[in-house]
Chains A and B, each alone.
Chain A
Amino acid sequence: MKGFWHDAVEFFPILMNGVVLTIVVTIGSLLLSTVLGLIWAMMRVSGIKALSMISASLINVIRGIPIIVLLFYLYFVMPDLGVTLSALQAAILGLGIAYSAYQAENFRAGIEAIDKGQIEAAQSIGMGWWLTMRRVVLPQAVRIVLPPYGNVMIMMLKDSSQASTITVAELALQGKLIASSTFKNTSVFTLVALMYLTMSIPLILLVRHFEKRAGKR
């Protein structure tokens, strides 16, 4: 145990560099997946057949490809096509695209859960599609969508570790590098696990808060 504390003090600063990158990747891909997910969901519920079909197939393609393959594609294949991305850019883009499919399905479920009478009431006072979405449907859907959205945040935090496969030195890769040069596997990976857990706990509490609020009405 004493050895662990000693190692912890020694490795903590290096691992913190990894934590910073983990947070950057998570927040970056969270924002991207939210924006893309919203766009897919809007296309899906637009009532325009072509848009809805494009969105549905896109979601299925994205869902059918493992995140790691998507990352390899962006990082190793895109340069052949003349688009060179830094490891960090490729990680954010890949995770953002991969998760946009789940976000889209989550948003769509939230939108479709809104009572049809709400939409008719909006139409009956002359609101068009976009105004109905913005003023009536989305504000109510947010309540429904937030708890699963929180869960996606937790999953993204953990899946950001997949960025290590394309050389982003986030927490998991930092740990692996230290472990392979010091052979202190137990200390290092226990520390890494604890650091992920520490970052997850606020998110878990946030989800619980969302769930309580959603249950109120």
Chain B
Amino acid sequence: MLGKTAGGLYWMFRYLERSENTARLVEAGQRIALTRSSADDEWTSVLQTAAVLWGYSEKYRDVTKDNAIDWMLRDPANPSSVLSVVEAARNNARLVRTALTREVWESVNECWMVLKGALAKRVNERDLPQVLTIIRQRSAFVRGAMAGTMLRNDIYNFARIGTFIERADNTARILDVKYWVLLPSAQAVGSNLDNVQWETILRSVSAEGGFRLTYGQEARPREIAQFLILDKRMPRSLAFCAEKLADNLGYLAMGYGTRLPSHALSDALNDVKLDTSIETIFEGGLHEYIQDFLRATSALGAQMEVDYRFYV
């Protein structure tokens, strides 16, 4: 396979994952806004979580719900807006068209066409839920076509690696922005505010149901941290993503017959960072832990580019 194709697949699936994550953050933000009286502060934290606050501040002076949603969903000046990343995903899909089945290509192409239509104008509050549903559905279609029609070979592995690097990054950033509400000291407070914050975290990863099922009705910060960082049953947890990365990198090593520096980085991520307990993480500092994790996944992504000759 061409190095360029590997890179194109990796980015195509990073972007698709990002579109879905962004939609989910907007959904969580909107939900909070509707259940609280003054909620604009929350949008700052949503923008921060999506890593688009800086660009937003260049364009707007104040953070308002409408502008934040517009910036995240459809502003072409925001390279991580849903519309921008879906277009980028589709451009990458065109680039790697020969590596995709017709079904996958058509689902991405249709995703782009449908979202371009749905996001042609500012989305008003009334239409927001429907638009968010469309985004989630369209990315589910792509995933379905992928699972149902693609060979399990290097093409598939690069696509999966892109998905899980992006997802790990996204979950880590949610934790990074909200880590303070998960600290053991916050537990004592137990105020209404904290409950809302905890719920936001779970909603941002579509996991309230999963959490209830696993840990019961009462959301407690220690369990939430455990769930999002170390629980391998949870498909958006850091441990789950890291394990999948190791799996797919392992298949690549098997197929190509060589282990590369990326494999060592992935091993370190799994064996050192994630083979631990939530207590140890709290002792060492949750914030520092997350920052470390973000650095490690970003280093892994950069090493992949080199090892598999994405660009040179």
Partners in one complex: no
- Give residues in A with beta carbon < 8 Å to B: none
